[in-house]
Structure 1
Amino acid sequence: MSEHPLQRFFKSRRARPTFEWERYQHRDVLLINHPLCQAVFSRQGAQLLHFQPVGQKPWLWCASRWPLVGAIRGGVPVCWPWRGRHPSESGWPAHGWARLLDWKLIDSHEGEHGVSLHWRLQLCDWQADLYAELGQGMELRLNTCHEDSETCQFGHALHAYWRIGDVEDVALQGLDGVQGYDQLNRQACQQQGELRVAGGCQRVFEHNGPVQLDDQAWQRRLGINTGDSVNTIIWHPGSRPLLGVAGDETSGFVCVEAASGGDESLSLAPGERAELSLQAWLV
Structure 2
Amino acid sequence: MVSSPHEAMHRIFQEYPGLFSRVSELLGVPIAAPTSVSVMPTDLTENRPVERRVDTLLRLDAEGDESFLLAVEAQGKKDEDKPASWAYYLSYLYTKYRVPPLLLVVCQDRATAEWASRTVPIGPRQWPALTLRPLVAGPHNMPVITNVAEARKDLVLTTLAAITHAADPDIGAILKTLSTALRDAPENIADPLVELTAQGLGSRPAAQQWRNLVAVDLSFYKSAISEEIRDEGRSEGRAEGIAQGILLFLARSGVDVPDEARERITTCGDPDTLNRWLLRAPVAQSVEDVFAEE
TM-score bracket for this pair, using the shorter chain length: under 0.3
Select the structure of larger CA radius of gyration: 2
TM-score, length of structure 1 as denominator length: 0.27
Higher helix share goes to which structure? 2
* Structure ranking higher on relative contact order (CA contacts 8 Å, 6+ apart): 1
When you count strand as a share of all residues, which structure comes out higher?
A: 1
- State TM-score, norm by structure 2: 0.26
